[in-house]
Amino acid sequence: MGNPVLRRVADPIPPDEISSAPVQRLIRDMLDTVIEYDGVGLAAPQVHQSVRIVLLTFDPEEGFEVWINPVLTPTTDETAVNTEGCLSIPGLRGEVRRPAGVHVTGYDHLGNQFERELDGFPAVVAQHECDHLDGVLYVDKVDHHSLSFLEEWRRFRTTEDQD
């Protein structure tokens, strides 16, 4: 947090450039980074590239998905509160209220268009990562009274929080 690239609206990638060597190299580098830091998602601005790419995993056994130029649309007025953290803001956690479900459209790493419906934890991950593409960090949306250092969060969260 503090690097100006995290506060920019990232540039779209022209679909005909998705298969290019620079885009594919960035995807590989992002995959190495998110695995090294044990993340569930990573957006290109987090590695100082202001383009609209995110990597996410909803099931570690299935690996990471690559979304290019994703567009998220809430599918419900219902919201959910979840505790979030971020690789760009190490050592903090806080509660964020987000739409409980989203519809996603975009391109995969091969340039194929896709659509998905997500709810629960996958919807949270998708919204968190795609916020990075618009220069938004979870601390912009956090309930400020819930913001805590990771060590204290682990120490004092309730049993209900741990479920």
Q: What is the mean pLDDT of the chain?
A: 94
Most confident stretch, 21-25, 57-61, 88-92: 21-25
How many angstroms separate the Cα of 33 from the Cα of each of 27, 30, 57, 80, 151? 10, 5, 14, 29, 23
The answer to whether 57 and 39 are in contact (CB under 8 A) is: no
Distance CA 124, CA 84 (A): 9
Mean pLDDT of all residues in 120-136 = 97
pLDDT at 160: 55
Catalytically annotated residue among 84, 95, 129, 151 = 129
Location of structure tokens 């419906």: 117
Please say if 129 is a catalytic residue.
yes
Domains of the chain: 4-162 (3.90.45.10)
pLDDT surpasses 60 at 163: no
pLDDT digits (tens, 9 = 90+) for 87-109: 999 999 999 999 999 999 999 99
